Every structure is written in structure tokens, then in C-alpha cells.
Amino acid sequence: MSQLENVYGLHAVEALLRHHPKRIKRIWLAEGRGDPRIQVLLELAKAERVIVESRGRREMDEQIDGVHQGVVAEVTPSQVLGENMLDELLESDSAPPLLLVLDGVTDPHNLGACLRTADAAGVRAVIIPRDKSATLNATVRKVACGAAEVVPLVAVTNLSRTLEKLKKRGLWIIGTAGEAQQNVYAQDLSGPIALVMGAEGKGMRRLTRDHCDYLVHLPMAGSVNSLNVSVATGVCLFEAVRQRRLRLIG
């Protein structure tokens, strides 16, 4: 039985070629694809000596349960990092750390979207609990558009214990909760922080909430009272980005 897994989609495969080419064993391209975006992939693959072969689109459709865009890479399984790597990741960055913690986000589409946003916002690492959470798979990589190959994803056994360790390193733990008194725009997010986003519908678990230094909410002006976790993550992360840039200017 093959130990390889499939990564599909133009962005995801290009990110692999640029950042982890040694993981790729073979790339399949749909017959007839020769557009400029494919030429970029071909040049990268040639430079890294990655085998590229053609395959019928119907055959690819049957093999892949998702929108593959005519590009599929057979790769060695990616590694979700262990909590022992967290200290090393934090020490390698001289800027005030910005971490994203996802407490029980089980939908792979949401995890992929959060990884994509985390990459855009300059997040140092995304932390998830080892149990009751989505993890890296082909759907996550496709939605993340390459970010899953760039942003470190750290799975921890005990999320509360990890938050305590982050506090001891000088990080402030900022949790999101609809009933919080303070809104996110009034919270100082310019320093070393770990932003905690709760699971879809249920929010953060009680123990996770108890380890937060501050709780914030997103002000809602319409008839709905909550946002999808990936959308809320984007709002909060880019408020942190805005504050950090203002601090640098000031």
C-alpha cells in the first residue's frame, strides 16, 4: 500500500515546488494543459528534477475528490509539528510573536482558510489541539492555496498547558467570545500575542477561556450574531497587523 498522498491545485503544488520540492515524487498534469501558469510549474519541476507526466482529465477526476485544476502531485506525507518545536519557532523570530490558536476547528475548509489568512498576516505558527481538530489533508491544502506548505502547523496534546507556556514566554493570550465586553478594535494587539479562535458554533472550551488574559468580541451591526471562524480570524488578525504597522510608524 502506497504511503504517498495527493496534493492538488495550482497554488498548492507550486508552493510545494518552491518550499518542499524533495517531498514530491511525481506530478500529473491533465492532457492538453499548456498555459502560462502550467509553464511556471514545469520550469520549477525541471529545476528540481521532479518527474512530470500527463494523465487524462477523466482519470484525474475519478482519482481526486475535489477541484484539482488539472494538477496533482504525489508527495510524501507532510508532518504536523509537535509542541517541542514551538520554542524553536518562537526563538527564530526577532519580531513580537503573532500566533494563531484554533480551539477545536474541525472543518478542513475552515482550517485551510485560516492557514491562508495566517500566512497573509505574517503569523509565526498556527496551534491546534491534537484531538478533535481538523489536520492537514488534501482539502486543507487546496483551500489554503499553498499556505499549508509555508505556515508551521503545531499540534499539542494539552492546549491549556501550551497557553500557560506561552504566557511564561511573555505572550498575551487574547480569546474571542461573543459575550466579551471589550471589542477587538479597543484591544492592544501590537505586542507578543496568541489569538485564540473557538470552534464553529461552540466557541472556545471553558479551560481554554480560563487561560485567556483578555476576551474580545467583533461588533456586529447586522441581523446575524456571529461570523464563520475563518472570516472572524481574518478580521482579528488584520486588526493586529494594522496596529503593529502603526506602532512601527510611530
Q: Quote the CA–CA distance of 131 and 118 in Å, as a whole number.
A: 21
Mean pLDDT is lowest, of 37-46, 137-146, 157-166, 208-217, for: 137-146
Q: Give the confidence band of 158 by pLDDT, cuts at 50, 70, 90.
A: very high
Average pLDDT over residues 133-162: 89
In this structure, are 115 and 231 located in the same domain? yes
What does the pLDDT read at residue 213? 97
- The predicted pLDDT at position 1 comes to 40
* Average pLDDT score over residue span 3-26: 87
Closest CA to 104 of 140, 133, 82, 81: 133
User: Both ends of the chain: CA-CA distance in Å?
Assistant: 58
Write down the mean pLDDT value for the chain: 89
* 198 known member of a binding site: yes
State yes or no: pLDDT of 95 exceeds 90. Answer: no
Task: Copy the grid coordinates of residue 178.
Answer: 461573543
- Please check if 82 is assigned to a binding site: no
Judgement on whether residues 227 and 111 belong to the same structural domain of the protein: yes
Which pairing describes strands 153-156 and 81-82: parallel, antiparallel, or unpaired?
parallel
Same domain, 222 and 122: yes
Same domain as 208, residue 181: yes
**At 112, is the pLDDT very low, low, confident or very high (cuts 50, 70, 90)?**
very high
* pLDDT tens readout for residues 37-59: 899 999 999 999 999 999 998 88
Same structural domain for residues 181 and 92?
yes
Q: Please give the pLDDT value at position 223.
A: 67
Question: Do residue 71 and residue 85 come from a single domain?
Answer: no
Of 53-57, 98-102, 172-176, the range with the lowest mean pLDDT is: 53-57
pLDDT of residue 75 exceeding 60, the answer is yes
Is residue 2 over pLDDT 60? no
Residue 21, CA distances (Å) to 5, 78, 153, 190 in order? 14, 12, 19, 35
The torsion angle over the Cα atoms of residues 249, 167, 179 and 156, rounded to 10 degrees, is 110
Range of the domain at 64: 5-75
Residue 9 sits in the same domain as residue 123: no
Amino acid at 160: S
Same domain, 68 and 85: no
56 labeled binding residue: no
What is the rounded distance in angstroms from the CA atom of residue 195 to the CA atom of residue 98? 8
Residue 241 has a pLDDT of 96
**Given a cut of 90, is residue 160 above it in pLDDT?**
yes
Residue finishing a domain among 59, 75, 91:
75
Provide the Cα torsion 110, 112, 115, 119; round to 10°.
Answer: -130
Burial code (b: 16+ CB inside 10 Å, e: under 16) for 109-134 equals: bbbbbbbbbbbebebbbbbbbeeebb
Predicted model pTM:
0.80
- pLDDT for 200-250, tens place per residue? 778 899 999 999 999 999 988 776 667 899 999 999 999 999 999 998 776
Least confident stretch, 50-54, 79-83, 120-124, 153-157: 79-83
Residues facing residue 126 across a β-bridge? 100, 153
pLDDT (mean) for 167-188: 94
Q: Are residues 130 and 220 in the same domain?
A: yes
Residues 113 and 54 in one domain: no
CATH number at residue 25: 3.30.1330.30
pLDDT at residue 108 in the model: 94
C-alpha grid cell, residue 104: 477545536
Among 75, 94, 128, the domain-final residue is 75
**105 and 51 together in one domain:** no
Last residue within a domain, chosen from 75, 105, 120: 75
**CATH code where residue 146 lies:** 3.40.1280.10
